[in-house]
């Protein structure tokens, strides 16, 4: 989110956004369930190909059973949503956009955008050709401390950035109790695109791309490890990604092996540093002194994924290409992740990779 675009404004009265839900296996489906009462969106249809998951989802507590469909195209044609939110495997994001784009239906996916550069470029091509919004949702987009960190950097509070250290992860999806339907694809290298490198590496790549205003790194180095192969035999559970920019280095530490939950970052500049510690607390060091900060809460619609998505669709706000939810930012994120996975010794990041064949 660009700071100038997130200033408070009067939300116009509007009918609830008509959304379709594509997939119910993602653990973040609780975002729909927990917010359905607010009235700013209404679920008009649900698609889930798996009969057992479709029958068992807690969405039945909020959505009429007659609105559930086993076929995506049938759901879209029968319910005609304005937008679709995807809560299935990352691999399915392309399938959802392929179905929605020709129908003029906007799409919001959970992070990351895609499992591969080929999928990401195909999604971007479809979105531009059909004039739809494809938004990627990250929990950290709605952290007041991240938005304040961006503002402080842009106003030169700590000078020029020289280094960023970004920490994301938890004890592991099995260890924290993710459901079997979520684990089935989250720990699959094809359906998720990787393990911790995908699940949490995307956060750091997303934040770095915003911080450097969309600039691509000159080189990407990745180190992927299996510290718990008995739990995660198919994918990495610990990843370190190093991004080299002309004047700065970014180290992304993404892991399913932290002893605690964390989504924090340290930004070092030529005159100070910013420690973003939690969604609401941070520290800034300038002039030889560290000062704790509690930034103001983000204002609607820039405080919530559904409100933000609706405001984008209705033209009430716009995104810069480098903003955290923007398509361009998130294509770069996938390019970074693929480079980290493909060449642990360092891989140039090219913007002119060929588009996949249609």
Range list of H helices, 216-348: 305-313, 327-342
pLDDT at 158 over 60: yes
Q: How far apart are CA 207 and CA 166, in angstroms?
A: 9
Residue 40 tokens read as: 């700013």
Are 196 and 333 part of one and the same domain?
yes
Number of domains in the chain: 2
How far apart are the C-alpha atoms of 346 and 340, rounded to whole Å? 7
Assess if residue 154 is contained within a domain. no
Pairing of strands 106-110, 83-86: parallel
Confidence class for position 174, pLDDT limits 50, 70, 90 = very high
What's the pLDDT band for 293 if we cut at 50, 70, 90?
very high
Is residue 116 domain-shared with residue 176, that is, in the same domain? no
φ, ψ (nearest 5 deg) of residue 269? -125, 180
- pLDDT over 70 (residue 345): no
- Tens digit of pLDDT for each residue in 178-189? 999 999 999 999
**Which of 104, 137, 170 is at the close of a domain?**
137
Q: Is the predicted pLDDT of residue 284 greater than 70, yes or no?
A: yes
Query: pLDDT category, 107, cuts 50, 70, 90?
Result: very high
Residue 210 has pLDDT above 80, yes or no: yes
Q: What is the phi-psi region of residue 275: left when phi exceeds 0, alpha when psi lies from -120 to 50, beta otherwise?
A: beta
Predicted pLDDT at 356: 46
Q: Please give the share of the chain, as a percent, with pLDDT higher than 70.
A: 92
3-state secondary structure 122-135: HHHHHHHHHCCCEE
Alpha-helix residue ranges (DSSP H) falling in 155-252? 180-186, 189-192, 196-199, 201-211
Length of the chain: 358
User: What CATH number should be reported for the domain holding residue 40?
Assistant: 3.40.50.720
| Residue 106 burial (CB count, 10 A) | 25
Sequence-ordered list of residues with C-beta below 8 angstroms from that of 64, at least 6 positions apart, any chain: none
How large a percentage of the chain has pLDDT more than 90? 91
Residues 6 or more apart from 303 whose CB is under 8 A from it?
Answer: 142, 297
Residue 173 belongs to domain spanning: 161-269+327-348
Give pLDDT, residue 344. Answer: 61
The answer to the question of residue 237 being in a domain is yes
102 domain residue, yes or no: yes
Q: Provide the edge-to-edge strand list for the sheet that holds 282-286.
A: 289-293, 282-286, 272-276, 262-269, 161-169, 249-255, 238-244, 219-225, 347-348
132 and 175 share one domain: no
Inform me whether the pLDDT recorded for 2 exceeds 50.
Answer: no
The CATH number covering residue 260 comes to 3.30.360.10
In a domain, 310, yes or no: no
**Distance between CA atoms of residues 357 and 341, nearest Å:** 23
With respect to residue 145, please indicate whether it lies within any of the assigned structural domains: no
**Is 70 exceeded by the pLDDT of residue 164?**
yes
Minimum mean pLDDT range among 91-105, 128-142, 287-301, 334-348: 334-348
Within this chain, do residues 68 and 172 fall inside the same structural domain, yes or no?
no
Task: Please report how the helices 144-154 and 201-211 are oriented relative to each other, as an axis angle in degrees rounded to 10.
Answer: 30
Of 137, 153, 182, the residue that ends a domain is: 137
Do 107 and 186 share a structural domain?
no
| Residue 316 included in any domain | no
pLDDT at 301 over 60: yes
Is the model's pLDDT at 114 over the cut of 50?
A: yes
Domain endpoint, select from 122, 137, 152: 137
Residue 328 has pLDDT above 70, yes or no: yes
In a domain, 204, yes or no: yes
Residue 103's CB: how many other CB atoms inside 10 A?
14
Question: What is the Cα–Cα distance from 23 to 331, expressed in whole angstroms?
Answer: 22
* Same-domain pairing of 98 and 192: no
Number of helices (H) and strands (E) in the chain: give both, helices first: 12, 15
* 314 found inside a domain: no
| Whole-angstrom distance, CA of residue 201 vs CA of residue 193 | 11
Same domain, 109 and 11: yes
């Amino acid at each position: 989110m660009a700071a100038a675009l997130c200033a408070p404004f009067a939300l116009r009265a509007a009918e609830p956004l008509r959304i379709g839900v594509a997939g119910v296996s993602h653990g973040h489906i609780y975002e729909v369930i927990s917010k359905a009462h607010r009235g700013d969106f209404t679920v008009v249809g649900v698609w889930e190909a798996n009969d057992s998951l479709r029958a068992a989802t807690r969405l039945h507590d909020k959505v009429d059973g007659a609105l559930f469909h086993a076929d995506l195209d049938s759901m879209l044609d029968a319910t005609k949503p304005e937008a679709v939110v995807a809560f299935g495997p990352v691999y399915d994001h392309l399938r959802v956009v392929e179905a929605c784009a020709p129908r003029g239906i906007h799409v919001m996916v959970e992070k990351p955008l895609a499992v591969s550069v080929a999928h990401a470029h195909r999604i971007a091509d479809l979105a531009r050709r059909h004039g739809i919004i494809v938004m990627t949702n990250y929990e950290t987009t709605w952290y007041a401390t991240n938005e304040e960190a961006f503002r402080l950097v842009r106003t030169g509070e700590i000078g020029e950035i020289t280094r960023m250290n970004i920490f994301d992860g938890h004890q592991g999806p099995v260890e924290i109790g993710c459901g079997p339907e979520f684990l089935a694809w989250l720990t699959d290298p094809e359906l998720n695109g990787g393990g911790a490198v995908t699940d949490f590496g995307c956060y750091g790549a997303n934040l770095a791309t915003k911080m450097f205003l969309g600039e691509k790194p000159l080189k990407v180095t990745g180190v992927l490890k299996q510290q718990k192969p008995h739990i995660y035999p198919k994918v990495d559970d610990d990843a370190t990604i190093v991004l080299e920019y002309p004047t700065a280095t970014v180290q992304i530490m993404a892991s399913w092996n932290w002893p605690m939950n964390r989504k924090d970052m340290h930004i070092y500049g030529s005159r100070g540093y910013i420690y973003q510690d939690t969604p609401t607390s941070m520290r800034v060091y300038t002039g030889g002194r560290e000062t704790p900060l509690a930034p103001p809460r983000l204002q609607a619609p820039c405080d919530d994924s559904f409100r933000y998505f609706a405001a984008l669709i209705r033209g009430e706000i716009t995104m810069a290409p480098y903003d955290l939810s923007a398509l361009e930012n998130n294509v770069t994120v996938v390019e970074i992740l693929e480079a980290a996975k493909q060449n642990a010794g360092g891989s140039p990041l090219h913007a002119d990779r060929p588009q996949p064949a249609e």
